[in-house]
């Protein structure tokens, strides 16, 4: 993986430079989005406390964004590629229903690249991320350099199971495409 072949959006140093040019360097307040670095381990609590300076008792709230298994992610990709373009509102509503179906039927670990691919990707931006770490956070590294959660080889999705998940959803009368 060469840095030149990756989308510029992954180059956070370049992104911050562009934003700094537009809004002024002093307006930039980057934050590392890692659960263990967020106030209360929660993005909403963190934002309320650090940015709005509000102490709100939100009580316990359920996780809204349930991880989908790699196979469920493939099923969603299949759905997105076949959703009709002629009715974006209907397609968006059906997509939300399908995501809920997948959350119930196929939660789990999402797709991960192989350890080698993850390390290669990380190394592509190591220099620019190091610059951000030093300039904005007074530390040597921007991200934890632990790749143990990545599999030795890329795990392939089960296409047949993904197709079954999509077919199960579409077989329900309320989810069939209205023409």
| Cα–Cα–Cα angle for 91, 73, 153, rounded to 5 degrees | 160
What is the pTM (predicted TM-score) of this model?
Answer: 0.65
CA 63 – CA 69 distance, rounded (Å): 16
Residue 111, SS3 per DSSP: coil
- Residue-by-residue pLDDT tens, the chain, 179 positions: 555 567 778 899 999 999 999 999 999 989 888 888 888 888 888 888 988 988 877 666 666 667 788 889 889 988 988 876 555 667 788 888 999 999 888 888 888 889 999 999 999 999 999 999 999 999 998 888 899 988 888 777 688 888 999 999 988 887 765 54
Measured in residues, the chain has a length of 179
Distance CA 155, CA 111 (A): 8
């Amino acid at each position: 993986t060469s840095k030149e072949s990756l989308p510029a959006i992954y180059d956070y140093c370049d992104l911050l430079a562009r934003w700094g040019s537009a809004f002024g360097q002093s307006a930039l307040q980057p934050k590392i989005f890692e659960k263990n670095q967020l106030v209360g381990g929660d993005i909403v609590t963190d934002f309320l406390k650090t940015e709005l300076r509000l102490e709100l008792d939100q009580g316990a709230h359920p996780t809204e964004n349930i991880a989908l298994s790699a196979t469920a992610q493939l099923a969603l990709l299949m759905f997105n590629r076949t959703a009709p373009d002629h009715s974006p509102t209907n397609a968006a509503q059906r997509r939300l229903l399908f995501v809920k179906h997948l959350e119930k039927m196929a939660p789990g670990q999402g797709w991960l690249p192989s350890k080698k691919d993850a390390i290669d990707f990380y190394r592509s931006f190591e220099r620019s991320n190091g610059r951000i770490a030093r300039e904005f956070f007074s530390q040597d590294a921007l991200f934890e350099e632990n790749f143990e959660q990545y599999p030795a080889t890329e795990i392939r999705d089960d296409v047949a199971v993904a197709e079954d998940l999509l077919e199960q959803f579409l077989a329900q009368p309320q989810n069939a495409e209205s023409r």
